[in-house]
Amino acid sequence: MAQISEFLFQNDGNIVHADNHIDAETGLFLMRVEWELDGFQIPRAEIAARFAPLAERLKMQWRVHFSDAVQRIAIFASKYSHCLYDLLLRNVSGELPGSISLVISNHPDLQTVPERFGIPFHVFPIRSENKQEQEQKELELLAANQTDLIVLARYMQVLGPEFASRYPNRIINIHHSFLPAFVGSRPYHQAYDRGVKLIGATSHYVTEQLDDGPIIEQDIVRISHRDSVDDLIRKGRDLERVVLARAVHLHLGFRVLPYGRKTAIFD
């Protein structure tokens, strides 16, 4: 912390946000520092090169991001439109620090949704026998679009392992339960059957193991015995929208630092 702060101080960097975390268990030190380029002595293009020797000496893993760079987002959806719509609206109203460049689906159902906002929609129907081949095409399309972030907005397919390895900590999924409760399919039905008094939603990075990646954000809403499964689904939709949007917003602001199975959220 001393030396990073000193590096910025020496170069007239005006810090606007700094946060850190010391993980007592692993001894890991995490730091996020955000400063203004106005008045900073090092030209934008040279910052990384000038910082590298210090980082090497301290054996840091590090990245420099520029908050004015527009990150390109690809959304995967299937048949439910609520999360997709929600993200498209935040996109059109400038709420997201990024830009949705395309929508991919395994079904044609939501065709009109992104098109209403002038966003390209691509259908890749997936069956067990063509899954690998279709996913390959999706990966090519994502690469051609210089995709920075993939958001699974209630995408009803499990992605093949190549996705997680190509986009580590850059695929965000929304699961409609407070994980680790109700892993897998039909969590609202599971919740109804168990008679819980609150339902949740969880946004997390996608890893090779289903519903097991680092959690970014969770929230819950109270329910009662009066709520049918349909009520849970309806109440859950609002939760899913908000929990997914918060995660996407945090990620795009470089406020999520994943480490091991966890995340530090520097908000």
Interface positions with a copy of itself (CB under 8 A): 1-3, 5-6, 8-9, 15-24, 81-82, 85-86, 89, 93, 95, 116-117, 178-182, 193-198, 200, 214-220, 222, 224-226, 228, 234, 237-238, 242, 245-246, 260-265, 267
Helix (H/G/I), strand (E/B), else coil: 233? helix
Q: How far is the CB of 255 from a copy of itself (least distance, A)?
A: 11
Q: Cβ closer to a copy of itself: 163 or 192?
A: 192
Q: Cβ closer to a copy of itself: 107 or 246?
A: 246
Q: In the annotation, is 212 catalytic?
A: no
- Tokens representing 152 are 């699974």
Q: Cβ closer to a copy of itself: 25 or 129?
A: 25
Q: Do the strands 149-152 and 72-77 form a parallel or antiparallel pair, or are they unpaired?
A: parallel
Q: Which is the catalytic residue, given 193, 211, 227, 238?
A: 211
Count of Cβ atoms closer than 10 Å to residue 13 Cβ: 21
Q: How far is the CB of 220 from a copy of itself (least distance, A)?
A: 6
Q: Cβ closer to a copy of itself: 85 or 163?
A: 85
Q: How far is the CB of 104 from a copy of itself (least distance, A)?
A: 20
**Closest CA relative to residue 153, chosen from 87, 108, 96:** 87
**Tokens 């910082």 map to which residue?**
51
Tally of residues, the chain: 267
Q: Cβ closer to a copy of itself: 65 or 197?
A: 197
* DSSP code string of 14-27: EEEEEEEEEETTTT
Q: Cβ closer to a copy of itself: 134 or 202?
A: 202
**Closest CA relative to residue 220, chosen from 254, 251, 179, 185:** 179
**Closest CA relative to residue 244, chosen from 214, 211, 201, 185:** 201
| Residue 186 identity (one-letter amino acid) | R
Kindly list the strands in the beta sheet with 121-123, ordered across the sheet, starting from the edge strand earlier in the chain: 121-123, 99-105, 72-77, 149-152, 171-175, 198-205, 215-222
Q: How far is the CB of 16 from a copy of itself (least distance, A)?
A: 6
Q: How far is the CB of 181 from a copy of itself (least distance, A)?
A: 4
Q: How far is the CB of 244 from a copy of itself (least distance, A)?
A: 11
Separation between Cα atoms, residue 148 and residue 102, nearest integer Å: 12
Count of Cβ atoms closer than 10 Å to residue 235 Cβ: 16
- Any idea which residues carry the catalytic annotation? 211
